[in-house]
Structure 1
Amino acid sequence: MQDAGRDAPAQAPRQIPWRLSLRTRLVLWSSLTSVLLLVAVAAIFYVAVRGVLLANARTEMRGLAQQSAGGLSATLESVEVSGRTLAGTASGLGRQPLDLRTLMAATLEADPDIAGVMVIIEPGRLTPDDPGFDWYRRRQGAGYFESTVRGLGEDYQDYRTKPWYARTVGTARPWWGDPYANDATGGELFVTYNLPLFRTGETAGAIGMVSLDVPVRRLRNQLGELLAAPGLVPMLFSPEQHVVLHADPSLEMQGRLGELMSSRGRADLAPLLDALQRRLSLEFSHEVPRAGGVEHHTTFALPLGDSGWAFALGVPEELILAQLRQVTLWGLGGGLLGVVLCVLAVRRRAGMIARPIEDLTDSARHLARGEFDYPLGHTARRDEVGVMARAFDSARTSIKQQIREIAEMASERQKLESELDIARDIQLAMLPAPRTVRHGGGEAVLGALLKPAKAVGGDFYTFFDTLDGQLWFVIGDVSDKGVPAALFMARTVTVLEVAARLGGSPARALAESARHLVEGNDTCMFATVACGKLDLATGALEMASAGHEPPVLLRRGAAPAWLPVPGGPPLGFEAGAVFESWTGRLEPGDGLVLYTDGVTEAFDLANVPFGEQRLLGVLGEARGAAATCEALLAAVQAHAGEAPQSDDITLLALCYQRAAGKED
C-alpha cells in the first residue's frame, strides 16, 4: 500500500502578527539596556541558538530525507511485489500465450508505477519441442503498444546473447537495471526490474525471465517539489551509482558518481560513494568547493530497501544559518529581560510537552516486558501526542492479535508436519526392502535407498520375482515433488507392477503402463522409468527405458560403463508410446546400478553438479549392493555440503551370482 501522505507538501508555518512577535518584544526591551549588553546578548544568542538550529534543521532534513526515501522505496517495492507475483503466476501457467498476455495486461492495470512488461520463456526449456514465448506490452498514450521481444529492434533479435538476459537467467536473484531509452521504450527513459523465471516449485535452471519497466519520470514525480526546492540537493542513484535524478539536471545520466567526482574535483563526496557501494545509510558533513571559497554541507544518504537504489539529500549550512543571521540582527533590538522571559517560557512549555511523552515512554517499557494491558493515556488528545498515543495503542492491539495468530499457525503447522510424516512412512512402506532372490542356481543381491527432497517425494523403485525365475526391477522419477508427486508415484508403481506381472518384455510393460497412465492425467504429470528383467538361471538381461537415465554396468575386471538402453518418451504423455528393449547377459560377479537425476544433478553451494564422472568414480570400487548405494549417497551428500537438497535421490543396485551345480 502506498503512503497516502508521501506526496503532500510540507505545511507552511503559521504567520505571527507583528505586534506579538519576538522581534517586536526584543526591540522594545533593547531600549532598557546598553549597547554593550545588546552586543553581548546578540553574541550569546547567536552562539547558543546556532548549534540548536543546526541540530533541529538536521533532524528536520533527516526526516525529510527518510520520508522521500520511504516514498521511493514504496514505489520500488510495489514494482518488486508485482514482479514476483507475475513471475510466480507465469511459472504456473507455463507456455500459454493467451493466458500470459492476459496476465501481463493485468499487471499493468494493477500497478500504475509500471509502464511496460516483458515475459520470455526460452524455446525448449519446458519441453524439447516447445517453441518458447516472448512478448512485450507497454503503455502508450491512452492505449498500449505490444510486440514480440524479437520485434522490438535489432538489439532484441537474439536476446539470449544479451548481457541483461544472461545476467537474469544466470543468477537466482532479481536485479534493477540502469536507466535506458530506445525505440522499444518510445524514447522515454525507463529503469527495469528483472527476475529469472523458473518452473513451478524449482529454484534452479531458469527457463526465461520477467522484466518490468518503470518510467524515470515516475520517480521524479515521487520527489515532487523537493527537486525544485531552493538550496536543497536531492540525488537519486541507480544500483550502479549512476546519478539518475539531481537538483542540477545537467548532472543527470552523465555517468557514475565516481566518474563525476573525478571530472568535477569533488573528492568531498568520497564517503557518499563508499556508502553507496556498501549500501549503508550515512550522514556526513563536507566542504563543497565554490568560487572564492568552500560551502559547508550536510548530506543524508539512505539505501532504498534491498533494491540497490539509494537516495541522498544535501543541505547547505548557509541555507540553515541564513535565517539565524536574520533573527540575530533583529535580536539586537531585544533586551536581556526579554531573553530571560523567553527562556523561562520555553522551559515551562518544554515541561508541559515532555510530560505526556514521558508517560508514553513508561507505557513502552511495560510493552517491552510483554504487559500489553498496561494503561495508556493521552489517546483523546488532538495534537501530535494524541496521534502517537493512538498509533501506540493500535500497534499494541495488532501485536496481541499477531501473537494469537502465530500460536494458531504453529498448531496448524505441527498438525500438517505430523500428517506428512505419516504420509512419508506410508510411502516408504510401499517400497520393497533390500533382499536376495535365488532361482535355478543363480542369485541376485538387491540394495536400494530413497531420500526424498521433501517429506514425501516422487521417486520410486520396486522389484519382484516370478515363479519361472524372472527378476523384474523398476526405478522411476515423477516430474514433480511433494504430495502430488507422491500420489502419482503410487499410481505409477501399481500400474507398472500389474503390467510387468502380465508377462512379456520390459518394453511391453512400459507400453502397457503408458496407455493406462495417460487416462485421467489432467495434471499432465509424467514419470521417467527404467524397467528390467533378469533371468536368474542364465543371467540373461533385458531392459527398456521411458526417458530415464541409463543404468551403469559393473563388470568384474572392467571399468563401470553405461548400458546403451534405447530411450523412449516418459510415461503419462502418449497412450500409444512404443519402446525398444536392450538385451544382454550378466556374468557371475557383475552388477547393475540404477539411479534418478537427483544424484547427478545434486548441486553444491557453488552451483556445481555432482555429475556423471563423479558417479562413475564412486562406482569404480568393488562393493556389495547395499554398500554401493550407501557409498554413492555419502559421496553425493559430501559434494553438496551445506547446499539444500534440490531433488529426490533414489538408488537401486543389483549384484548377480551363480553357483554351478546348484538348483533352486
Structure 2
Amino acid sequence: MALRSIASKLALWVLLGTVTVLSVGGILLFQLVGHQILAQTHRESEALASDASNRIQERLDMVTNTDQVLAAIIGPRPVDAEPLLRDAISHNPDLSGLASAFVPGSAAALASGQSPFVSRTDDGSLTHRDLLKDPTPYWNASWFQAGLSCMNGCWQKPFYSQSRRRRLVSYSTAIVADGKAVGVLNADITLEWLQGILQDLDKPEGTNAFVVDQQGTFLANDTTELVGQHADAELLRTLNTHGAAAIRMLPSESNNADEPIWIYRAPIKGTNWQLGLTVPEAKIYAGVRHAFMATLIVGALALLILSLLMLVIIRRIITPLVVLTDRAEQVARGALDFALPATREHDEVGRLTHAFDRMRNELAMHIAELTRVAREQQRLASELEIAHQIQTALLPGPHYLDARCSNFELHAALQPARTVGGDLYTYFMLHDQRFCIMVGDVSDKGIPAALFMARAITLAKALAPRAQSPQQLLQLLNRELCRNNDGCMFVSLLCGFLDTVRGHLIMASAGHEPPVRWGREAPHLLQLETGPALGLDEEATYPAHRVRLQPGETLLMYTDGITEATNEALQLYGQERMLACLARYADTPDEDPVGGLVADVERFAAGYGQADDITVLALRWHHAGTERSASMLDITFAASMQDVFDTLERCDQTLEAAGIEDDVRDDVRLVLEELMVNMVQHGCLEQHQGNIGLHLTLADDAVLVELHHDGKPFDPLQSPPPALSGDCADAEELGGLGIHLVRAMASDLNYTHDEHGNHLQLRFVHANRPEQDHDLQPSQ
C-alpha cells in the first residue's frame, strides 16, 4: 500500500507540474496571440473608419463647395438666385433643397424681389416657392439667424422635414454684399446616402457602424432603429474625451452593452460629426479561444496518457525502497543496530542505503530544525523587502514642480522606522486647476500599518475626484475606512486643496499635527480646528480652514515622528526645535527645507535611533504664473434684486473701463445676472436675506470671477441641460437660457460648498485670444 501510495503521489505531482507549465505557457501564448490579433483589429478597424470618413467627407465637400460658390455669386447678383439654385440642385443628386433667403428690406431682397427655395420631390422633379410668402417669417428662424454669422459656411443641426417626410441636415453660408451679410444660402441634404455608405462597408461580423453629430444624435447607424435618436451619454463622453482612435468601453460604462467593446472613431473633417465602429471584444478573440480550447482538449488527453505511463515506470523504479522503508521505521522506533542488505548498484538507492549506516536520528532532527528556521527567516526577510518596495511604489516622487507656470513647488520625504511603516503622503492634480496634498500617520507600525496605509492612499485617490472640498474628501474616506475595520485601526490625516492659479488653500484635519507656515513672517504653527482620526466614527465631520498663500510662503506638513524623536537623554525633539530649524530656511527660498529638517532630526536622535516613522511635505508658493493679474472689483452686498442689478451696472462699468470687449462684457453680465438672481430667489434661508460677494480679476487672457453666497446650497453644474429640439428648416422651438447659458458662456465653471456657503469660480476668455489648457498632471 505504501509503495502504491508513493508511486501515485509522484505521478500526481509530475502531472500537476506538467499541467502548471503547460497552463502558464498556454496562457502566455494566448495573451501574445491575443495582443497580436487585437493590434491587427485596431489597424484594420481604424483604416476602415478612416476610409468611410473620407468617403463621407468627399460627398459633403461637394455640397459645401456648391453652397459657398452660390453664396459668392448671388451676393452681387441676387436677381439670378432662382435659376442658379435650379441649375445647382439638378447637377447634385445629394441636394434635397437650396434656399436663398435675404434679410427683409436689404438691397439684395429688394433687387431679387423674392427669397427662392428650390427643392427636389420624391419623383426627382424640382419645385419652387418664395419663402417670403410663408406664413411663418423665416428671418426669425434659428437656421437663418445662425446662418448670417457663417461667413465661411457651417453645418446646422439635423432635423426631420414634415413636408418632405425625411431627415435632413443643412449647410448654411452667409450671402455677403458690400462686406455685410444680406442673406443666407441654405443647402438641405438627405441622410439616406449616409446610411448606404455604412451598409456598403466591408465590416467584420459583429461590427456596428454609426455617424453621430455634435448634439449626440445618430445621423446613421447599422441598427436603423437608432437613427435620429440620442446616443448613450457614456458613449458620447467616451468619444468626446478620448483622443485615441481605439477606445475600450466596459459594460459598467454603457447602458447598451453587456460585454466589453472596442470603439474606433474617425472625425469627419469640415463638420462636427464623428464616424464610429463598435466591435465586441469577444468577436476579436473568438478564433483564439476556439484554437486554445482545441489545444487544451488534445493536451489533456496527452497528459492523461503520460500520467499512466509515469505511474507504471515509477512503481518499477521505487520497488527497492521497500526494504529501506522497513529500516526507516526501525530508526523511528530507536532501533539503530540493524544490518542493511548489500547493494550492488551505485544509483540513488545504493547511496541511500550507505547513508543509513552513518545517520543518527538526533543529528537528522537537528539539521532539519536548523534548515526550517533558516528558511523561515529568509522568507520573512524577502516578504518584508517586497512589502517595502510595494509601499514605496504607492508614494509619488519626492519633488514636484508646477510644470505649466511654476506657481508652486513641493518637496517630500518618508522614512519608516522599520522596513515598512504606517506614515503616508501623496499629492495629485484634480480637475478645475486644483491640487490635492495629504500627509497622514496610521496607528501601530509594521505590516498592519503598511496595509492600512496602502488602503488609505488607494481610497483617497479614488474618492478625490468625487469630492468638492477636503472636508468632504475626509468624510468619504472616513466612511470607507470604518467599514470592516475589525482591528479598530485609524489614521490621522491632514488634507489640502490648492487653487494652482490664485494660491487659495483649503485644509481639513483629521486629528493630525498642525502645519507650519512661514514666508513674510517667521515659522509658526497654524492652529486648525480638527475632527477625529479616520476609521473610528462614520458620522464624523471635519471643519475647513482657508489660507491665501503669498509669494514666497511655504507650508510644511509632518507627522509626529518629527516632534517625538528622542535622543539618548530621552528628550523629545519638539515643536520649538522644529520651528528653530525651519527658521534657517526662511531667507533661503531655493533650499529644500524637508531634507534639512530630516537631517537635523537624525542628528538629534543619532544615539537613540529612529523610534517612529518620519514624513515631511513642504509646499512652497512661488506665484510665478499670475503676477500680471489685477483685481478690478471686490464688493459684498445684500442678496436683494435691487442690489443685484445695481451691482451688475457697476460690474459692467468696471469691465468697460478696463477695456474688455463688448461681447465678453455681455457674457459676464448675462451669466452673473442668472446666477445672482437664482441666489436671491432660491438660495436665501428663512428669515435671513444673506449676502453675496463678488470679486473680479483681470488676467492676461481672461476675466476671472468669484461669487460667494452664504445661503442654501445651489450647484449649477447639477442642473440638467434643457431639451433643445426642432426643425431647423421648417420650424423652430426656442429653449430656455438659464443654467444652460451659464455653462455655454463661461469658459470654466467650478462650484464648491462648505460651512461658509456657496463658492463659484468662473473664467471668461478675452476675444481673439486662444484659450490655454490649464490641465496639469503631477510627475510621480
TM-score (norm 2): 0.34
TM-score (norm 1): 0.39
